[in-house]
């Protein structure tokens, strides 16, 4: 049954190739139609296979399709849009859609953290850099889009490699038996994992005076009130203490590194060689003169000195 | 044949894998440095969706804990990479990755 996966991968690859930015005729709408067809066909085929059901409420299924289609469509737009600003905006939509998927998967804290950290912090940084570095202009006319944004680099090879990887990933993840899910709900698992933690937690109210039965009831009430954030926090600090330390070190190092990089002075000779490059626009690399460390330039100057 | 309203782990793995592969293709095909790093963030998104799906279906919260670490690495990578991009842009006044191909020898 894996031939359906391969067909969907090939059709998806062709559709993405049609949507890639290029000069001249751009069959983007046809490519989008083809991609939607392959994704829809894959979903229909997936629903028809006898993979085990995993106990999510089936009322959430329309939301899965909506959020997935939104995420994948926006992701295609991120990599095909010629303007970096719009790519970043489409990426915000990818983040929001995958936050919706996290909500379906009962990872509510991760959904909120995704939106705040990605959509709030990281994307704002990207927007700042894009505004700082890119040439701005009207969205309507194509003339001011930089040349390197208008044409994709090696689209055939990259898409072939990517979709071969996709076919392999899907073949593995769609094999029944490899992904044997467990029955039950998150809540039952949380009760079992958290029982020792909850005993250590001090009681909020003076229930110990009222006897063991009241104590038990209060503990059950506390266990029932454990939410997603608390559960993640307990797992984070009980099972991954080393990971927290390493994450802190990485954040500190990148903070210091970012400050050092931002304060670094650009050499003056680079600015002088830039003057003709700025005027000619696209042909930056051609007009870049070799620096003093270039071996060929050194040979030439050495020869001149000898003469 | 299962009914259409069956939820499987493979549904979410499909979405995660497609996001990852699209990010990879974008990283390979785009020549703008900023968009290339944006595409790595999209690969992180795909991995995060897969991790959340594993966390839900195997009922183990460590998957969600790993997403926190993924977010940490993504934030550190964005800070460093964007600083480097600004530095490279100040040198050559272009975001073209091919402008730096002389560094490959």
Residues of A with CB below 8 A from B23's CB? 75, 79
Q: Give the domain ranges of chain B.
A: 10-93
Average pLDDT, chain A: 74
Q: Does B43 touch chain A (CB under 8 A)?
A: no
* Mean pLDDT, rounded, for A79-99: 92
Question: Residue A154 has what pLDDT?
Answer: 83
* Mean pLDDT, rounded, for A23-43: 82
Of residues A113 and A106, the one with the higher pLDDT is A113
Contact B28, A77 (CB under 8 A): no
* Mean pLDDT, rounded, for A253-282: 66
pTM as predicted = 0.78
Tell me how far apart the alpha carbons of residues A128 and B83 are, in angstroms, rounded to a whole number: 11
* Mean pLDDT, rounded, for A240-264: 92
Closest Cα in chain A, distance from residue B77 (Å): 8
Query: Dihedral through CA A220, CA A226, CA A230, CA A231, nearest 10?
Result: 80
Inter-chain residue contact B34 with A129, CB threshold 8 Å: yes
Instruction: Scan for tokens 């899910």, then name that residue.
Output: A181
* Mean pLDDT, rounded, for A197-220: 56
DSSP A50-109: -PPP----GGGHHHHHHHHHHHHHHHHHHHH-S-HHHHHHHHHHHHHHHHHHHHHTT-HH
Question: Residue A287 has what pLDDT?
Answer: 39
The residue of chain B with its CA nearest to that of A159 is B25
Question: Residue A304 has what pLDDT?
Answer: 39
The residue of chain B with its CA nearest to that of A9 is B18
ipTM beyond cut 0.95 = no
Inter-chain residue contact B35 with A87, CB threshold 8 Å: yes
Question: Residue A66 has what pLDDT?
Answer: 92
3-state SS class at A185: coil
The residue of chain A with its CA nearest to that of B85 is A129
Question: Residue A93 has what pLDDT?
Answer: 94
Inter-chain residue contact A106 with B56, CB threshold 8 Å: yes
Inter-chain residue contact B87 with A261, CB threshold 8 Å: yes
Question: Residue A305 has what pLDDT?
Answer: 37
Residues of B with CB below 8 A from A72's CB? 15, 18-19, 22
Inter-chain residue contact A133 with B95, CB threshold 8 Å: yes
Tokens representing A149? 């944004």
Q: Does B91 touch chain A (CB under 8 A)?
A: yes
Question: Residue A180 has what pLDDT?
Answer: 52
Inter-chain residue contact A114 with B57, CB threshold 8 Å: no
Question: Residue B16 has what pLDDT?
Answer: 94
Question: Residue A197 has what pLDDT?
Answer: 58
Of residues A224 and A236, the one with the higher pLDDT is A236
Question: Residue A231 has what pLDDT?
Answer: 83
Residues of A with CB below 8 A from B65's CB? 232, 235-236, 239-240
pLDDT band at A176 (very low <50, low <70, confident <90, very high): low
Question: Residue A234 has what pLDDT?
Answer: 86
Residues of B with CB below 8 A from A95's CB? 45
Dihedral of CA A137/A140/A141/A147: which sign? Answer: positive
Alpha helices in chain A (DSSP H): 3-19, 28-48, 61-80, 84-104, 108-114, 123-133, 147-150, 155-173, 186-200, 212-224, 228-239, 241-263, 268-280, 295-306
Is the pLDDT at A275 greater than 60? The verdict is no
Closest Cα in chain B, distance from residue A41 (Å): 13
Is the pLDDT at A97 greater than 90? The verdict is yes
pLDDT digits 0-9 by tens, B3-41: 334 567 788 889 999 999 999 999 999 888 889 999 999
Average pLDDT, chain B: 85
Is the pLDDT at A120 greater than 70? The verdict is yes
* Mean pLDDT, rounded, for A12-35: 82
The residue of chain B with its CA nearest to that of A45 is B4
Is the pLDDT at A179 greater than 60? The verdict is no
**What's phi and psi for B96, nearest 5 deg?**
-70, 125
Tell me how far apart the alpha carbons of residues A106 and B14 are, in angstroms, rounded to a whole number: 18
* Mean pLDDT, rounded, for A172-181: 64
Question: Residue A289 has what pLDDT?
Answer: 44
Of residues A133 and B68, the one with the higher pLDDT is B68
pLDDT over 70 percentage in chain A: 62
Q: Which residue ranges form the domains of chain A, and what is each CATH number?
A: 3-47+56-173 (1.20.120.1200), 186-263 (no CATH)
* Mean pLDDT, rounded, for A101-107: 88
CATH class of the domain comprising B10-93: mainly alpha
Question: Residue A142 has what pLDDT?
Answer: 56
Question: Residue A134 has what pLDDT?
Answer: 63
- Which stretch, A154-163, A175-184, B54-63, has highest mean pLDDT? A154-163
Tell me how far apart the alpha carbons of residues A257 and B87 are, in angstroms, rounded to a whole number: 13
Tokens representing A174? 């769609």
Return the minimum-mean-pLDDT range out of A124-138, A235-249, A264-278, B60-74.
Answer: A264-278
For chain B positions 64-83, those within 8 Å of chain A (CB to CB) are 64-65, 67-69, 71-80, 82-83
């Amino acid at each position: 049954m894996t031939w359906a996966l391969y067909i969907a991968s090939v059709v998806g690859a062709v559709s993405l190739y049609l949507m890639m930015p290029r000069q001249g005729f751009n069959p983007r709408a046809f490519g989008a139609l083809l991609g939607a067809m392959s994704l829809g066909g894959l979903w229909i085929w997936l629903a028809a296979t006898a993979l085990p059901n995993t106990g999510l409420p089936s009322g959430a299924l329309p939301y899965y399709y909506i959020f997935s289609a939104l995420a994948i469509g926006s992701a295609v737009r991120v990599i095909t849009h010629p303007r970096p600003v719009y790519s970043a905006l489409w990426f915000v939509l990818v983040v929001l859609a995958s936050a919706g998927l996290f909500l379906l998967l009962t990872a509510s804290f991760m959904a909120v953290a995704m939106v705040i950290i990605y959509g709030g912090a990281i994307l704002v940084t990207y927007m700042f850099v894009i505004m700082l570095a890119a040439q701005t202009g009207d969205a309507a006319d194509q003339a001011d889009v930089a040349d390197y944004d208008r044409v994709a680099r090696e689209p055939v090879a990259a898409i072939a490699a990517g979709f071969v990887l996709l076919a392999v990933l899907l073949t593995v993840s769609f094999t029944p038996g490899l992904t044997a899910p467990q029955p039950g709900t998150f809540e039952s698992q949380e009760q079992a994992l958290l029982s020792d933690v909850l005993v250590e937690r001090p009681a909020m109210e003076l229930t110990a005076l009222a006897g063991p039965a009241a104590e038990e009831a209060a503990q059950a009430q506390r266990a029932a009130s454990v939410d997603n954030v608390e559960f993640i926090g307990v797992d984070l600090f009980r099972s991954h203490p080393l990971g927290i330390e390493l994450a802190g070190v990485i954040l500190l190092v990148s903070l210091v590194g970012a400050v050092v990089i931002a304060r670094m002075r650009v050499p003056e000779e680079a600015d002088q060689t830039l003057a003709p490059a700025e005027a000619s626009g696209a042909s930056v690399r051609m007009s870049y003169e070799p620096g003093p460390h270039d071996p060929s330039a050194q040979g030439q100057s050495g020869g001149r000195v000898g003469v | 044949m299962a009914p259409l309203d069956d939820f499987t782990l493979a549904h979410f793995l499909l979405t995660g894998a497609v996001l990852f592969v699209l990010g990879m293709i974008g990283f390979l095909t785009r020549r703008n440095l900023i968009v290339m790093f944006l595409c790595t963030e999209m690969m992180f998104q795909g991995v995060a969706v897969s991790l959340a799906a594993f966390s839900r279906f195997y009922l183990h919260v460590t998957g969600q804990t790993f997403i926190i670490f993924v977010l940490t690495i993504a934030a550190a990578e964005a800070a460093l990479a964007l600083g480097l991009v600004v530095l490279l842009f100040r040198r050559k006044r272009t975001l073209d990755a091919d402008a730096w191909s002389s560094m490959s020898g």
